[in-house]
Structures are given as structure tokens and as C-alpha cells.
Chains A and B, each alone.
Chain A
Amino acid sequence: MNAFDALTWLGHWPFAFLAERRAADLARHLRAHGIARALVSPLDAVFAPEPGPANRALFRAVRGVAALEPVPVINPALPDWRDQLQDCLDHAPVRLVRVLPSYHRVTLTGPAMAELVSTCRQRGVKLAIQVRLIDERHEHHAVSIRPPKVAVLARFLDAFPNAPVLLSGLLRTEAATLAAGRPHVRVDLAFVEWLDTLRTTLAAVPARQVVFASHTPFLETAAAPAKFARTRITPAAQRALLTGNLERFLSA
């Protein structure tokens, strides 16, 4: 299959019995499911006071593992976010950074995000917005976290119509709503599902805006390639979703 996975994680998650793998083990695990390359972000950045140490640990972990491309987490709700970004760019070639608005209380329509979008464009870095990590109905009882509202995401996207943005963790209807009429937006397939997922999705979202994602280790890795196993979309569309769209998004 040789898929390019837009969403995987390394590190520890406190609220579920998830597999904790070393980078080389993650690469082998993905390879066994037909995933040749993957973007990987640090789970330990989600609840850390600031994401710097987790990002640096990620860079060290993936060094020498060619199949894994690091995607650091930036927290623009903190006053040092410019330093966080610079630190990442100093450590490794970075094509994408990830923002977790729900977990980091980031105001998507606020001035820090506006500056981050602008800075990323200047530095040739793309931006991923992690809309959800897990189904919000399954969050731990001690935490109160909900994904950003679709209307807020739409306002953010419309404020920067020329900024390429990858939306990760959208549900099917959210992906259709947010991708429609916004060619600068990409949506990943991790949480998108319906009977014959791909055909249903491509009926609502232009194929060039859709990218493959497994969301390993949160979701069963096998479930992501399974969406392609008996689909009736064209081989060309499958190739675009599996590899081409993400590569073009990152390289543009």
C-alpha cells in the first residue's frame, strides 16, 4: 500500500491502555499495515506545561528513523510560542507544526494564532489543527475538553484563505462542512467514517483535499488501510489520498 500517514503519535497517554512504542517499533508497526511513511507528533506535549521538552525528545527519538517525520506541537496560548517554534526549526527540518486548541485553550480567532499563521507562512511551515484526539464522549471524568465548534473553525479558516491548513480529527459531517469551498484546507480521514467511507467522503469533499491518517496509537492502525481495502473509488483517487495529497500539501 505504501501509504503516507498524516497522523501518528509517540509517547504516553494517561487515560487509556495505548501501546507505547519506540520510534523504530512504531515505524515497523506502521509498515506491517502498509504505511511506509508517517508524520509523528509527541503525545507528551499535550499535558506538559510547555511543549519544548516533548518536541526535543521527539526529534531525538526519530533521528535515524527515515519513515517518521517529526511534527512538533506548538502552544500559542503561551507567551513563549515564538521561541517554541524557533527551537523546533533549529533542531530539524520541519514542514508542519501541530496546534491543539482544545487541550491548550487556544483562541483560534485570537491575535496569537494570526501571528502564528503569518510566521508559518514566512518560514515555509504548514499548520495542522488537531480538532480532537479522542471522542469527546470518552474523555476522562476529571477533565472537561470539547473540540472547537465548527463555526469557530470556519471563522479561523476564512480569516486566512491563503494559508494551507490541515484539519486533523474531524468527523464526517465536519469534514464536509469545513472543506467545502475552502481549497486551502486539507482534512484527514482518521475519524471520518460511514458506509463505504471513501466513496461517501469524496461525494462531499474534493479528493485533492483528503489525506490518509491512522491516528496510531489512539485508533486501531488496521482500521485506516481497511477503508481502502474494498473501496470502489478509482485507483488514481486512492493513490492521491494515500500519498500524493499529503506530499503535495507539505511540499507546496
Chain B
Amino acid sequence: MTVLDAHTHPHFREHRAGRAAADVFLREARRHGIEHVVALGDVLAFGRSPNADQLRSINDDTLWLVKRHPQQVTGFCYLNPTLGERAVWQEVERCVAVPGIRGLKLEVANNARDACMRPVMKAAERYGLVVLQHAWSMTKIKQRSFHTDPEDAVLLARRFPNVRVIMAHLTGCGVRGVLAARGCDNLVVDTSGAAPEAGIVAYAVEKLGVQRVIYGSDAPIRDFAVAIARITGAGLGRDAERRILRDNARELLRLP
């Protein structure tokens, strides 16, 4: 079965291998049957709140990769909403000029419920972009002032019902995150995050429906084979596996 990975970071400065490492990354993806990846950028390369120059540097890597591998890579433009409305629009418009940029990536510069998200979501609406919002249960992490809890990601999606939102990290969001996402039809959850904890993928499918769960690995932080095994080991059946591993993301990203 061919696979579409909705959550990857092909550039990782920790490796100090430069852009060549991204080519190695894509070869590794192909070896695991992954025909297409969403490249989200090396989002923590400059800390949790990068400035405009740092953002451009991260996004330049993504743009380079999308141009180099247009059939294999979709790019998401990484944003820091706290830089303000003008900076957000400038960076979005610079990135969407490149074919293959189909989404916006939000990390931990701010919480998804913050007012600074409004221009981000307006830009997503204007250009028909998917928004991938990092989320994790803040029950133990205690960083909610800038780190998005699943309830915050769901609130964002409800405030902007015309924008398709990916709530990242099913395993980090946990049972409470799945329950929060019920009834929020413009939000899907990706299966990335932490170790392959048993039961959570099947639980998400049961509560949200198979059409609202998409495969994501978070590679290279995670192993493609392990990330795929979270789905194939969950006892869902071949049809559900195909939807999660490929079809749902293809429809969400409007890929051919």
C-alpha cells in the first residue's frame, strides 16, 4: 500500500548535514512505501518564537525541497503569529507563490486560542490552505500560555469553520483530545506524537470516524516503520488503513 505522510520534518539542523539530508530523508521515505510527504520545516531550529529572518530561512528550505521534488513533497509555510498581521501576510504570500505549498504550520510561539491567530486563519481562508496546529495535552506540561492544548486547537477550528485544520499529535492529545474533537468536522487529527501507545488510534477511529484520522510520522524524530505500524497494528482492517495512510490526507490536501 502506498502511503502519504502528513507530518514530517525533512530538514533537521541538529544533523548539520544541510539540504542534502533532506534528499536522504526522502529516499528513506520511499523505502517505506511513502509516496508523498508534507514537509513542515525545521520548526524549532531557532527556538519556539523565531524572528522574521529565521522564519524565512526555515521556509526557504521547504520551498527548495518542494521545487526539487514536486511530485513527492507538499510544503507547509511555517509562521510565527506573534510577529503580527503584516509579517504573517508577507510570509504567506511569499510562500504560496510557489506551487506545492498547500498549508500553514503553527508550533509553540503562541496558543491557538490567541487573537494573533486571526490573520493566520484569514490567510488560510483566502488561499485555501490547510492549517496544521501543533497540539499536546497540557495536563502535565503546564505551558498553556504559549503551547496549544487539544481543546485550544478545536476552539481555533470552530472559530474558523471554513478552514481545514489538522490537530497534530494524536498520542500527545490522548483520549481527552479525541473527545474534544468530536463534532468539529473541519478538524482532523494526525497520528504522530511520542511512542506508539497502544489503543489510541483505534479509539480515535471509534470516536471520530475513520475519515477524520490521518497518518503522520513526525520523522526524523520518529521511525517511518514504527509510525506506520501504529496504524497497521491497530486492527482496523485494510479499508480503514488505506484511508488513514493515504486517502484522507490526499483528499484533505486536494492532491491529484
Indicate if the CB atoms of A136 and B199 lie closer than 8 Å. Answer: no
Answer whether residue A220 sits at the interface, using C-beta atoms and an 8 A cutoff. yes
**How many angstroms from the CA of A221 to the CA of B198 in the assembled complex?**
8
Q: Which B residues are CB-close (under 8 A) to A138?
A: 137, 140, 171-172, 174, 194, 197
Indicate if the CB atoms of B140 and A193 lie closer than 8 Å. Answer: no
Q: Which B residues are CB-close (under 8 A) to A227?
A: 223, 225-226
Q: Which B residues are CB-close (under 8 A) to A195?
A: 25, 28, 219-224
**How many angstroms from the CA of A18 to the CA of B203 in the assembled complex?**
11
Measured as residues with beta carbon below 8 angstroms from the partner, the interface class of chain A is: 20 to 34
**How many angstroms from the CA of A95 to the CA of B140 in the assembled complex?**
36
Q: Which B residues are CB-close (under 8 A) to A218?
A: 197-198
Answer whether residue A141 sits at the interface, using C-beta atoms and an 8 A cutoff. yes
Q: Which B residues are CB-close (under 8 A) to A196?
A: 28, 223
**How many angstroms from the CA of A216 to the CA of B196 in the assembled complex?**
11
Q: Which A residues are CB-close (under 8 A) to B197?
A: 16, 134-135, 138, 218-220
Q: Which B residues are CB-close (under 8 A) to A221?
A: 198, 233
Among B139, B196, B203, B221, contact of A223 (Cβ-Cβ < 8 Å): B196
Q: Which of A134, A197, A220, A226 has the most CB of B within 10 A?
A: A220
Q: Which B residues are CB-close (under 8 A) to A226?
A: 223, 225-226, 228-229, 233
Answer whether residue A191 sits at the interface, using C-beta atoms and an 8 A cutoff. yes
Interface flags for B174-198 (1: CB within 8 Å of A; 0: not) read 1100000000000000000011111
Indicate if the CB atoms of A137 and B194 lie closer than 8 Å. Answer: yes
**How many angstroms from the CA of A135 to the CA of B139 in the assembled complex?**
13
Among B137, B139, B141, B220, contact of A194 (Cβ-Cβ < 8 Å): B220
Tell me the residues in window 195-248 of chain A with beta carbons closer than 8 Å to chain B beta carbons. 195-197, 216-223, 225-227, 229-230
Indicate if the CB atoms of A230 and B194 lie closer than 8 Å. Answer: no
Indicate if the CB atoms of A141 and B139 lie closer than 8 Å. Answer: yes
Shortest Cβ distance from B39 into chain A, in angstroms? 14
CB-nearest residue of chain A to B232:
A222
**How many angstroms from the CA of A229 to the CA of B198 in the assembled complex?**
19
**How many angstroms from the CA of A131 to the CA of B125 in the assembled complex?**
46
Q: Which A residues are CB-close (under 8 A) to B232?
A: 222
Q: Which B residues are CB-close (under 8 A) to A137?
A: 136-137, 140-141, 172, 194
Answer whether residue B159 sits at the interface, using C-beta atoms and an 8 A cutoff. no
Tell me the residues in window 126-150 of chain B with beta carbons closer than 8 Å to chain A beta carbons. 136-137, 139-141
**How many angstroms from the CA of A194 to the CA of B226 in the assembled complex?**
9
* Residues of B near any A CB (own CB < 8 A): 25, 28, 31-32, 136-137, 139-141, 171-172, 174-175, 194-199, 203, 219-226, 228-230, 232-234
Can you list 14 A-B pairs, Cβ within 8 angstroms, ordered by A?
A17-B175, A17-B203, A19-B199, A33-B233, A135-B197, A138-B194, A194-B222, A195-B220, A195-B221, A196-B223, A197-B226, A219-B195, A227-B225, A230-B32
Q: 10 nearest interchain CB pairs?
A: A222-B233, A195-B220, A226-B229, A223-B196, A226-B225, A222-B229, A220-B233, A223-B229, A220-B196, A197-B223
Query: Besides A197-B223, A219-B195, 19 other CB < 8 A contacts?
Result: A16-B198, A17-B203, A135-B171, A135-B194, A136-B140, A137-B141, A138-B171, A141-B139, A193-B223, A193-B226, A195-B220, A196-B223, A218-B197, A220-B197, A221-B233, A222-B232, A226-B228, A226-B233, A230-B31
